[in-house]
Structure 1
Amino acid sequence: MKRTGFLLFLLMFIVMMVSVQDRAAAAAAPGGNVQIVLDGNELKVSKDAKITNVNGSVMVPFRVIGENLGFEVKWEQKTKKVLINKDSKTIELVVNQKNATVNGKKVSLDNPPMLQNNIVVVPVRFVSEQMGIQVSWDGANQTVYLTSSVAETPKTEDGTGAGNGEVPIPDPFPGTSTSEPGEVSDPSTTIPPVSGNAMINGLSFSENRLMIASQGGTLTPKVFKMSGPDRIVVDLPNAGFSADFLGGAAIGTGNQGQLDVSGYPDVKSIRYSLFSNSPSTVRVVIDLNYTKDYSVYNDESGSGLVIVDLNKTDSTPTNPIGNNGKKVVVIDAGHGDQDPGTLGYTKKKEKDFNLAVAQKVGQLLANEPNIDFVLTRSDDTFLKLEERARIANDLNADVFVSIHANSAGSTAASGSETYYQRDASKALASVMHKYLVKATGLPDRGVRYGNYHVIRETKMPAVLLEVGYMSNPKDEAALFSESLQNSVAQGIVNGIKEYLGIQ
C-alpha cells in the first residue's frame, strides 16, 4: 500500500476509535453524521458506518477497521477478541472488558468494546495516543479534527520529487530595503521540487532567541548582518518548509509569514520566506530596532536544531540554553495554526487559550535568573508532536510542560486534570497539579496516567495539563479571562520552581 493511502486509512481508524470523554468528546447522537478532517482535508466516511456516542465515547463498528485499514485485523468469535497488528505493535481488545493489551502490557480503557445488534463497536482512545495523533472535537459542527504526527512529503508524478511542480512565488518581503544585494527574491523565481532538502517544521522566538526546528537533510545556516535598516539574516540552503508547517498550503506558494515578537525591545519583527531555488533556501530575517550582535548554535548531532541567540555576543558554537548551571524548562502550547484543538461552548479555540497561557508563563520565567526556557511555539504556528518532544530532548530539558484545555460530550464536565506517562514524571505531576487546581478554582479531577505522545517520548519529567473544560460554558468563560490565565501561568511557574528546588 502506498504510504499516503496507508496514512489516511490509519488516521481514519484512529479518529473512529478515539475516546472523547477527556479530549475529543463527541456530542453525536447514535447514527449521527460526523465529519472527519485530516490536516485540513475532509475524509469520506461511508454513510452506513454509524458513529455513536456511548457514555461519552465515540464508538465505531469493528468492520470499518477491516474495510479501510492496511492493518492486520482479526475477530475471534469464540473469545470475543479484536486483534490488531501492524509492524511491531500488537493491540488486543476483548468485548465488555475495560482492559486492553498493547505489546503484552495491560492498559485500561474508559469504556470497553461492545456488541450492538451483533456488530462489535470499539472506543479505543489509547490507540490514538499510541500512534501520536492529535485529535480535537467541534461539537457544534459535529467535526473531528486530526493532525498527523508523520509528515507526508508530497510527490511528483514519478514519485521522486518533494513538491507539486515549479510554482512562481511573489516577493516574500515587499517594501524591504535592498541596500544589499539579495535581500529579497526575484518575484519571477520558481521553487522546483528538490529531494533531500531539510524540512523546516517549526520557528519560535522566546527569551530573545530564534529557534528553528527541522527534520531530514542537514541545516547549514549562513547568518549575517545588514543595515539600512538593521537586521540579521538567516539563510538555510537546501531547505524548505514542511507541509505541516505550511498548514496545508501547496509547497512553493505562500511560503512566507511572520512571528509574534511583541514584548522584545530589540526586535521589530521576524519574517520568513522560501527565498531561492539555487539551491532551495529558506530565509529568516530578524528586523532590529538597532544594531545587535548575536551568536549561532547549530546542533551538529543532526537533530536539526538551530538557535540564533541575541543575548550572546561571541561566536562560540555552544548551546546557549541551560549554560551557567541554569535549569532548562520547555513550555508547550498545544495545537496551533490549522489544528485548532477542541472548540468550546461558544466556539472559542483551544489553541488560542494554550498559547495565551504559554506566553504568560514565558513572561514570568524570563524574570527567573536560574531558569532558561523555550516555548515550542510562540505564536499561531503548527508543530508536530514528535517535534515538540524532540526540541525538549535536544535541549536536555529538566522539565516539559504541555498546556491544553479539555472537552466532553456533556456540558456538565468541569475541572482540572494533570497527566503523566512515565514513573519519572509522577512527582512533577503531583506538584504541578497542586498549583493548577489552586490557580483555577475548578473541580479537582486528579492526577492521571495518559499515554500522550509529548509526555511519552520526552526523556525528562513531563506533564500535560488539562486546565478546564471548554465544553462547559462556565469553564470556558473562566479559561478565557485574563485573571484566570494570569493565575494559571503563575501557578505553572510556582510548580516548576518547587519541583526544581528553586526559591
Structure 2
Amino acid sequence: MKKFCCMLLLLLFVLVLPESGHAATVTGKIFLDGKELTASQGVQVENVNGTVMAPLRMISQNLGYKVDWDQKSQMVTIGQQGKTIQLIVNQKSASVDDKTVILNTAPLLKNDTTFVPIRFISEQFGLTVGWDNQDKIVTLVTPVSAPDTGNDTGTGVVVPPVDTTNLTQVNGVSFNNNQLLITMQGASQPKATLLTNPNRLVVDFPNATFSDVFGTGQLLDPNLNGKLDVVGYPDVSGVRYSLFSTAPYTVRFVVDLNYAKNYTVSISEDENKLVIVDLNAEDSGETGALPGNSGRKLVVLDAGHGAKDSGAVGVTGKYEKAFNLAIVLKAAALLKKEKNIDVVLTRSDDTFLELKERAAIANNLNADLFISVHANSSASSRATGAETYYQRQASKAFATVMHKYLVPATGLSDRGVRYGNFHVIRETKMPAVLLEVGYLSNKGDEALLFTEALQNRVAAAMVSGIKEYLGIK
C-alpha cells in the first residue's frame, strides 16, 4: 500500500512534457497521511475558480503506471490497475473507463505545463484531497477502513473510487446571530436531530461532499474534519463538521449546545442554496421561515474581509477586518430594535468568506438591501475622508441616501458617491452599496475610526439611511 501511494502521488504531480518554461504558480507542500513528502518539494499548485489544480510531469518508467501524452490532441491518458482516465486540455468532459464525466474545471496548459484537477484524479484512485489555501498545502489521505468511535462528526472515512459529480457541493459555513449558515449547490435536504448527554444539534446533508471552495475558506484537516470557534453566544460552545460517511456520502455539522435548545431549519430554493439553522426559534421543527418572509424588510450587512484576510493595515498596525466587524455588529444591534426590519450578517466574528458567498447569502434570502462596510487605504498618507460606492444604476439612489448620513457621522471630508466595480455590489441582485468609512493609511483617520464614539455614530447613520430609503419611520 505504501509503495502504491507513493507511486500514485508521483503520478499525480509528475509527467514530463516538452518544457520550454515553467508555470507561474505557487510553490506548495504535499502531505500524505499527515507526513510531508520530501519528494514534493517544488511542486506547484493553483486554485483555479475554486478548484485545486496540480501539474503533471514525467515519472520514471519503473513505477508501474502507463502515462501517455498526445501533443496533437493535448490528451493525457493515465492507466493503473485496470482503470483508464483521459483528460483533454481546456475540455471539461473527461473519460473514466469510457464513461463520460463532467469536470468543474477543465485541465489547462500553462507555459508547457499541464494542470489537472487534483481532487478528481485522486478520488478516481481512492485518495482524499484537502487544500489549505492560506499555507498552500495539499493533503492526501490513502483509503483505509476506520472503526466507528461514536464521534458525532465521524472519523474521516476515506473516499473510495466513485463518481462524485452528482453530489451536492457544500461550499461554506459561518455562525452569526445565533444561526448556522451553510451554502451549497445541489439538491441535498438537510436532516437535523437534537441529541443529549451532551446536548448537541446534528445536521446531516445526505448525498453531499465538501467542494474545493470549502477548503479555501474554512479549515479541513487531512481526515476532512474541521471546526468553527464560536464566541459570544451563550447557547453554543462551538461547531464541528466533517465528511461523516462515504457509504452513502454525508456531510455532517454538529452544533455543540450548552443546554437544550429549540431550532428551525430553512433552505432557499435557488441553485446556490443557503441553509439556515436558527437557534432563536420558540419551537423546534424541520422547516422555518427564511428571514424577510415575515413581511418585514430584510437587510444584509457585510463586514468586509475576515480571518486570514485582514484587509488594509493601518499606520499603527490596526486591521481593517476588526473595524468593519465592529461597525456591522453595532448597526445590527440597532436594526434588531426596528420592528419592521430583519437583519442578517454575512459574518459576526473573525471568519473568512469568499466574495461570492457574501453575495449568495443576500441573493438566496431575496434581501431588500445589501451594505458592505470597509475602511480604505492609500499610498499617500494624506488621503482622508469617506466615500460610498455603487456598481449598478439601480443602487445609485441608495448610495446617495447612505452617503448623506455617513459623511457627517464621520466628521471627515466628503469624497463623494462613486461607481465601483466591486464583486459584492455587482453580483447582488438588490440595491447594494459599499461604504469606505475612512483611511487607515492616514494617522488621523485611523485613530478616529477605532473610537467607540465614531463607530456608534456610523452605525446609527447606517440605520437612518436604511430607514429613509425603505420609507420606514
Q: Distance in 2 between matches of 1:247 and 1:348?
A: 24
Q: Distance in 2 between matches of 1:482 and 1:323?
A: 34
Q: Does 1:167 align with 2:141?
A: yes
**Percent sequence identity over matched residues?**
54
- CA 1:324 to 1:202, structure 2 compared with 1: closer, same or farther past 3 Å? same
* Pairing 1:382-421 to 2, within 5 Å after superposition: 382-421=352-391
Task: Indicate if the aligned counterparts of 1:259 and 1:379 stay in contact, CA closer than 8 A.
Answer: no
Q: Distance in 2 between matches of 1:404 and 1:207?
A: 20
- CA 1:393 to 1:214, structure 2 compared with 1: closer, same or farther past 3 Å? same
Q: Does 1:206 align with 2:176?
A: yes
- 1:220 aligns with 189
TM-score if structure 2 supplies the norm length? Answer: 0.65
The structure with more radius of gyration: 2
Letter in 2 for 1:167: V
Task: Indicate if the aligned counterparts of 1:261 and 1:270 stay in contact, CA closer than 8 A.
Answer: no
- 2:105 aligns with none
SS in 2 for 1:478: helix
Matching residue within 309, 314, 317 for 1:339: 309
- 2:267 aligns with 298
| Higher RCO by CA contacts (8 Å cutoff, separation 6 or greater) | 1
Q: Does 1:329 align with 2:295?
A: no
Task: Indicate if the aligned counterparts of 1:241 and 1:251 stay in contact, CA closer than 8 A.
Answer: no
RMSD over equivalenced CA pairs, Å? 3.4
Task: Indicate if the aligned counterparts of 1:153 and 1:243 stay in contact, CA closer than 8 A.
Answer: no
* Pairing 1:365-444 to 2, within 5 Å after superposition: 365-444=335-414
Q: Distance in 1 between matches of 2:118 and 2:330?
A: 37
- 1:311 aligns with 280
Task: Indicate if the aligned counterparts of 2:299 and 2:369 stay in contact, CA closer than 8 A.
Answer: yes
Q: Distance in 1 between matches of 2:195 and 2:142?
A: 26
Matching residue within 426, 443, 460 for 1:490: 460
Q: Distance in 2 between matches of 1:246 and 1:349?
A: 24
- CA 1:168 to 1:467, structure 2 compared with 1: closer, same or farther past 3 Å? farther
Q: Does 1:288 align with 2:254?
A: no
Matching residue within 426, 433, 443 for 1:473: 443
* Pairing 1:68-107 to 2, within 5 Å after superposition: none
Q: Distance in 1 between matches of 2:383 and 2:273?
A: 41
SS in 2 for 1:454: helix
Q: What is the CA distance between 1:292 and its match in structure 2?
A: 1.9
Q: Distance in 1 between matches of 2:447 and 2:469?
A: 30
Q: Which runs of 5+ in 2 are unaligned?
A: 1-21, 27-45, 49-115, 131-138, 144-148
- 2:59 aligns with none
- CA 1:462 to 1:159, structure 2 compared with 1: closer, same or farther past 3 Å? same
Task: Indicate if the aligned counterparts of 2:325 and 2:348 stay in contact, CA closer than 8 A.
Answer: yes
Letter in 2 for 1:368: E
SS in 2 for 1:342: coil
Q: What is the CA distance between 1:362 and its match in structure 2?
A: 2.1
Q: Distance in 1 between matches of 2:354 and 2:129?
A: 19
TM-score if structure 1 supplies the norm length? Answer: 0.62
* Pairing 1:425-464 to 2, within 5 Å after superposition: 425-464=395-434
Letter in 1 for 2:183: A
Q: Distance in 2 between matches of 1:347 and 1:255?
A: 33
Letter in 2 for 1:222: K
Q: What is the CA distance between 1:221 and its match in structure 2?
A: 1.2
Letter in 2 for 1:423: Q
Select between 274-283 and 472-481 the one with higher mean Cα deviation: 274-283
How many residue pairs align between the two structures?
348
Letter in 1 for 2:458: V
* Pairing 1:127-166 to 2, within 5 Å after superposition: 154-157=118-121, 163=129, 166=140
Q: Which runs of 5+ in 1 are unaligned?
A: 1-7, 13-36, 40-151, 170-177
